[in-house]
Every structure is written in C-alpha cells, then in structure tokens.
A = this chain, B = another copy of it.
C-alpha cells in the first residue's frame, strides 16, 4: 500500500505541479514528486528482496488509491498544496502508527519514506501567505481539507473491508480495541494540529 501510494503520489503531484503560478513553485512541487518516486524505488526493491513481485503486491491498492485521487483532483495551486499537506499528512500518520507494528528493517524503511518537515514547511508557508493575502481562502481550503479527509476515510473503509489482514495486523499488534481507538485519537490530534499550523480550521 505504501509502495503504490508512492507511485501514485508521484503521478498526481507531477500533474498538480502544472497548477503552480510560476516556474519556481512548479519546480518545487516537481521536486517533491521526485522524492516520491525515489521512495517507490526503495520500497519496490525491498518487496523484491522479500521475494514479492511489486506489481502483485501493489495491485489490491490501485483502485482505492485511484478513487481517492480521482475524487480529490485539485482545481488550483492552493488545493494541490493543501492536498499534499493534509492528505499526505494523514496518510503519513497512519503509516507511522502501522510501522510500529512491523519488524525491522521494514519499520525503519516505512518511517524513512514518510514526508520530511522541509516539504511540510513549504506547504504551510504557501497556504499561510495565501490566507494573509485573502482571508476568505482559509474557509475555502478548510472545507477542501475536510473533503480530503472524508474521501480518505471512505477509501480506508473500503480497503479495510477488502484487506482484513491489514486490520488484523493493527488490532492484533495494538493489543486491544482501546489501543486501536487511541491510535485513531492520536491521528485526530495530529490532524487538528496540522490544520492549525497552516491557519486552517477543522
């Protein structure tokens, strides 16, 4: 799921870079996309080393990740940035939580491919600047972020129905239902903090 997530993130961010208002910003998002495909290479190599065909391993996630991206096609640069920041942020939080349940060296590999702070700093600075220039932007992007989270949860529910092994991993390793609830509470808190950091409201 992480591997195909990287491959599709590359594709979508590369396309979203076209929404940039100037070449410098277009290059910045293109460079972010390039990080995703480099991460893809590391993950695909690890799958290969485990004797798993990357194509086969990724196949179950093509539809859900495609549906998420298709239903959250940004219409402008700020929506693209917000998607990269909020959408990838929530996904990162989830993968970070799940990484705690898997063994090394895979745990570290998953943590390594999560998005760095430099990346988030760029999105936050751009979104805040846009809100300063036009305060109405905050409301529009807050609504957009809620839609992103809604679509992500919708697809996550779909995956969990189709891939019970993923749910079993989380519930078994977390320990009990209360621990799973705590996991989602941590994710909610992190999401709220991320929204505030960019001047958005939940």
A7 with B33: in contact, given A14-B14, A15-B14 (CB under 8 Å)?
no
Assess whether A34 is interfacial by the CB under 8 Å rule.
yes
Contacts of A48-99 to chain B: CB distance below 8 A: 54-55, 58
In the assembled complex, which residues on chain B have CB atoms less than 8 Å from the CB atom of A15? 14-15
- Is there contact, CB below 8 Å, between B14 and A33? yes
Q: Which residues of B contact A7 (CB under 8 A)?
A: 23, 26-27, 30
CB–CB A27/B37 < 8 A = yes
CB neighbours (8 Å) of A40 from chain B are 27, 30
State the main secondary structure of chain A at its contact with B: helix
- In A123-170, which residues have CB < 8 Å from any B CB? none
The residue in chain B whose Cβ has the minimal distance to the Cβ of A35 is B34
Copies of this chain: 2
Question: Closest Cβ of chain B: how far from A160's Cβ, in Å?
Answer: 23
Residues of B near A4 (CB, < 8 A) are 23
Closest to A12 in B: B14
The verdict on A176 contacting chain B, using a C-beta distance below 8 Å, is no
Q: Please give, as numbers and ranges, the residues of chain B lying within 8 Å of A14 by CB-CB distance.
A: 10-11, 14-15, 30, 33
| Interfacial chain B residues near A27, Cβ < 8 Å | 7, 37, 40-41, 44
Q: Are A41 and B31 in contact (CB under 8 A)?
A: yes
Assess whether B11 is in contact with A30, with CB atoms less than 8 Å apart. yes
Of the residues B11, B26, B31, contact of A17 by C-beta under 8 Å: B11
The residues of B that contact A24 with a CB separation of less than 8 Å are: 54-55
A residues within 8 Å of B by Cβ?
A: 4, 7, 10-11, 14-15, 17-18, 22-24, 26-27, 30-31, 33-34, 37-38, 40-41, 44, 54-55, 58
